[in-house]
Amino acid sequence: MSEKSTVTTDNNSACTDGCVKLPNPHLSTLDHDALFHIQVPLHDTDTLKDFSKIKFVCIGGTPGRMKLLAQKLARELNLTKCQDNSKEDNFDYAFTTERYSGFKVGPVFCVNHGIGQPSVAVVLHEVFKLLQAAGCSNVTLIRIGTCGGIGLEPGTTVITSGVLTAGFKEVYVTSALGRPLELPVKVDPELVREISSCASDNGNLDLKVKVGKTFCAEDFYQSQGRLDGSFCDYSKEDQICFLNKLQSSGVCNIEMESAAVLALAHKVQIRAAVICVVIVNRLKCDLPSLTAEEMSQIESYPLELVTRYIKRHFSKGD
């Protein structure tokens, strides 16, 4: 293979009983293994037993959002917080590294991933290894985030039905051995339908939900066609042309992790979805201008949607 070649691999091995089975033959040959960035002890039998019941992994940018979700799930579904139930606020598994935070409530693990695809890829590798070590099965991964809307106003919650990345291709571009590596991005249409059908599950709050394509960008500024970065190599007309092209390609939101999340989950055969709430309509402006209060209200919408989805599974006895 030449140094310039781009590799596309889709050699994921399906596991018929739903158990997490990672397609890495080297793992079973390692003398010692650890989860370097999340520090959940891989060889502690009590911890693994605890994690073996995990059915949902929820991820999102900030530790605060994931902690709020864990607390909401604990409250509304009457789930037990781990690891130390006696300390209401101290149930963070990854506290020693300060890279990521993980909060476990019952069968749900809520983990933050920081900003961008490299950051989410690192934590997902380790979460997937944890799920395999614990013997988990039938796990669903859901990213809950914020995004820019293409013609959508703040407060609209978008469920991703397809992803485009730079070059307007449906691939997650990463690298291996110094060579570019393209992984296919796959959406689970059934999961998208299941989640979107939860929008009106609670009479008090009808969530405004839109199913559509997401553009996954490498950064917040030039990759998203903003004019307000520290430098900018294109004109206002170029920006308008880019945003119009997104809209005519069926894109309704822009964020920064969806391609990696959906491609990596597909690679290890875990069903996954991406739910992001719009905080700025990019057809009107670049800079989100919500007050802190509005922001926290709006940021709660994907949490509410995912809570309703998980609740439904509980009521079905899953």
Ligand X SMILES: O=P(O)(O)O[C@H]1O[C@H](CO)[C@@H](O)[C@H]1O
State which H helix or E strand residue 4 sits in.
none
Query: Known binder of ligand: residue 298?
Result: no
Phi, psi (degrees; rounded to nearest 5) at 112? -90, 155
* Angle in degrees, 0-180, between the axes of helices 258-267 and 117-133, rounded to the nearest 10: 30
Taking CB atoms, the residue at the shortest distance from ligand X is 61
Give the whole-angstrom CA distance, residue 130 versus residue 141: 14
Of the pair 150, 207, the CB lying nearest ligand URA is at 150
Query: Known binder of ligand: residue 106?
Result: no
Residues 117/174, Cβ–Cβ less than 8 Å: yes
Burial of 41 (0-12, 13-18, 19+ CB in 10 A): middle
Told to check if 165 binds ligand URA by CB under 6 A, we report: no
Give the whole-angstrom CA distance, residue 72 versus residue 163: 29
148 binds, among ligand X, ligand URA, none (CB under 5 to 8 A by kind): ligand URA
Applying CB under 6 A, among 126, 170, 255, 304 the residue interacting with ligand URA is 255
Told to check if 154 binds ligand X by CB under 6 A, we report: no
Query: Known binder of ligand: residue 279?
Result: no
Query: Known binder of ligand: residue 282?
Result: no
- Subset of residues 200 to 239 that bind ligand URA, contact rule: CB under 6 A: 220, 224
Count Cα neighbours of 247 within 13 Å in the Cβ-side half-sphere.
Answer: 14
Give the per-residue contact string, 229-268, with ligand X (x = CB under 6 A; - = no): --------------------------xxx-----------
- Subset of residues 120 to 149 that bind ligand URA, contact rule: CB under 6 A: 146-148
Minimum gap (Å) between residue 155 Cβ and ligand URA: 13
Told to check if 61 binds ligand X by CB under 6 A, we report: yes
Give the whole-angstrom CA distance, residue 137 versus residue 238: 47
State which H helix or E strand residue 181 sits in.
strand 179-184
Residues 84/91, Cβ–Cβ less than 8 Å: yes
Applying CB under 6 A, what is the total number of residues that bind ligand X?
9
**Type of residue numbered 64:** G
Told to check if 141 binds ligand X by CB under 6 A, we report: no
Told to check if 60 binds ligand URA by CB under 6 A, we report: no
Told to check if 279 binds ligand URA by CB under 6 A, we report: yes
Of the pair 132, 146, the CB lying nearest ligand URA is at 146
CA 15 to chain centroid, in Å, comes to 22
Residue numbers belonging to the annotated binding site for substrate: 224, 226
For binding to ligand X (CB under 6 A), which residues are involved?
Answer: 60-61, 115, 145-146, 220, 255-257
